[in-house]
Chains A and B, each alone.
Chain A
Amino acid sequence: NAGVTQTPKFQVLKTGQSMTLQCAQDMNHEYMSWYRQDPGMGLRLIHYSVGAGITDQGEVPNGYNVSRSTTEDFPLRLLSAAPSQTSVYFCASSMAGGPGNTIYFGEGSWLTVV
């Protein structure tokens, strides 16, 4: 029973490098999202998707790209990493984005940009 799977768990990047955080879910959920968690800031929504081929921006989208080519996968791309992107990233999914749909989170990806 995998649920929401994120890779890698830990990553260190140099400023200016690019990378992709992978997220996959096996629950056939339509809604997927990415959050970042920073001390004193709580969890904040980066991007979300309501289904394959449909993505949109959340609260803090700058510096990140997403795509949704399949229902299962929702990768998050850092185009040119900056120290301000040092954070813990969580992928989440639910049946849909509306009320009554519990959002389930992955285990997180710890990213450090030096």
Chain B
Amino acid sequence: EDQVTQSPEALRLQEGESSSLNCSYTVSGLRGLFWYRQDPGKGPEFLFTLYSAGEEKEKERLKATLTKKESFLHITAPKPEDSATYLCAVQSSSSNTGKLIFGQGTTLQVKP
């Protein structure tokens, strides 16, 4: 069964304190791994798509990496405005529905 697990569930950082969020997945053929950011009361906002092991993508203070079993979202020198819930999702090649299988998210709080 395709599955996505994110850890930790919650993370508190001081401004400037770098850290990483983990997304472990089991899927019968990875079509793509997606990272989204979700602010309270809002819909998920697309950040990155990764397709193959070894791939990396960056956007401002965020960097996403991918291995055959997990993905990391590295946050360098975070600011309070980076506080949000970060969602990881995968698309499986066993499904032709375009369905995204989501993890439960990591809620990040960055204190000034």
Contacts and interface: CB of A to CB of B under 8 A. Distances in A.
Interface of A: 4, 31, 33, 35, 40-45, 48, 50, 56, 58-59, 90, 94, 96-108
A103 B46 contact: yes
25 contacts: A4-B43, A33-B98, A33-B99, A35-B100, A40-B104, A41-B104, A42-B102, A43-B100, A44-B102, A45-B99, A48-B97, A58-B97, A58-B99, A96-B98, A97-B98, A99-B32, A99-B51, A100-B32, A100-B49, A103-B34, A103-B98, A104-B46, A105-B36, A107-B42, A107-B43
B111 interface: no
Interface in B89-109: 89, 91, 93, 96-100, 102-105
A85 to B, nearest CB: 19
Nearest to B93: A99
B21 interface: no
- Which 5 interchain pairs have the tightest Cβ spacing? A97-B98, A105-B43, A99-B31, A42-B102, A43-B102
B87 interface: yes
B8 interface: no
A59 B103 CA distance: 15
Contacts of B103: 42
Contacts of A106: 43
